[in-house]
Amino acid sequence: MTASAESLPARPRIKPIYDVLYLDGRIRLGSGPAYISEIEDEDGRYGGLVRLLDGTRSIAQLAEELAGRLKPDEVNDGVAILYENGFIEDAALSPPPELSERDIQRYAPNLNFLS
């Protein structure tokens, strides 16, 4: 069972630590011989969704932009599956308030890794 819309990120994005490769009929998350996961995508419908997961859109906006290619439930389920498997984070979340702007820049690699 996938997550409910309320428990999903407000503005989902693929975590920066994952390279995304669009191959013939599949999408690969991670790169090299030790890639993390592959998604079957024979008709390219889910490639369109993954390309839009940049943290600038809500799930409703994603569904609207992908209308005609994916149904709203398919968008929600696609985001939910990626989120439940740890590939997505919420771009709407702010860094911890105790970190200064300098700290955020300094620890950006660690923050990205630990997200």
The pLDDT-based confidence of 104 (bands split at 50, 70, 90) is confident
**Cβ atoms of residues 66 and 49 within 8 Å:** yes
**Cβ atoms of residues 88 and 53 within 8 Å:** yes
CATH number at residue 69: 3.90.930.60
Which residues span the domain enclosing 106? 5-114
Sign, CA torsion 96/103/52/3: negative
- State the total domains in the chain: 1
Q: Which pLDDT belongs to residue 1?
A: 46
Count CB neighbours of 7 within 10 A. 10
Task: Write the DSSP string, 10-48.
Answer: SSEEE-TT--EEEETTEEEES-STT--EEEE-TTSHHHH
Read off the pLDDT of residues 10-57 as tens digits, 9 standing for 90 and up.
Answer: 999 998 888 898 999 999 998 777 667 889 999 989 999 999 999 999
